[in-house]
Each structure stands twice: as C-alpha cells, then as structure tokens.
Amino acid sequence: MAQLVLITRDGCCLCQGLEEKLTASAVLFERIDVDSHPQLLTRFDLEVPVLLLRQGEAEAVLPRVSPRLSPPQLRAWLEQQGAL
C-alpha cells in the first residue's frame, strides 16, 4: 500500500495550508519536518511543501499542489495522482 508523506517546515504558511487541507480531506499522511532530516533538507530545502508517495523502497515526488485547491479538490487531485 502506498503511503503519502508531507515534507513540511514549521512557520511555512504554504506547508500549514496544505497540511490543514489534507486533514480536512480525511487523507492519511505522515508529516516530516524538513529541518529535522539533513538528507531531506539538502533535497527539498526551498521546495516545501512537498508530497511524496512511498511504496516499499520506491518513492515518487508528486507535482506541486496548487494552494487554491479546496479540500475536496485536493482529494480528487490525489486520486488522479494515484495517491489514494
């Protein structure tokens, strides 16, 4: 089963908005603070928020999410991406 991961940063308004919409959409996800993981910080420092789709050892970075999506639109978008 695929796992959705939100790479985020404390104090980032875009990160907070996406996290709130994921929660409102009843989407299960793991939240990782980019500043707590040196490898992720090197990879995604200025790109947060980032959504990853993990399945076993495989990992895919999902396209950037528009902050204008409503929670239902976000859920539909995630379904189109194969994340749900």
| pLDDT at position 84 | 87
Mean pLDDT of 3-32: 95
pLDDT in tens, 53-71: 998 889 999 999 999 999 9
Integer Cα distance of 8 and 77 in angstroms: 19
Integer Cα distance of 84 and 6 in angstroms: 14
* pLDDT confidence bin for 73, thresholds 50/70/90: very high
- Mean pLDDT across the chain, nearest whole number? 94
Q: What is the CATH number of domain 3-80?
A: 3.40.30.10
| pLDDT at position 56 | 86
Cβ-based neighbours of 51, under 8 Å, separated by 6 or more: 4, 5, 6, 7, 18, 61, 62, 65, 83
pLDDT(1) > 90? no
Residue with tokens 């695929």: 2
Q: Identify the CA nearest to 44 among candidates 27, 64, 29.
A: 64
pLDDT(18) > 90? yes
Integer Cα distance of 15 and 8 in angstroms: 5
Mean pLDDT of 28-43: 95
Bridge partners of 8, per DSSP, are 33
Q: Where are the domains positioned within the chain?
A: 3-80
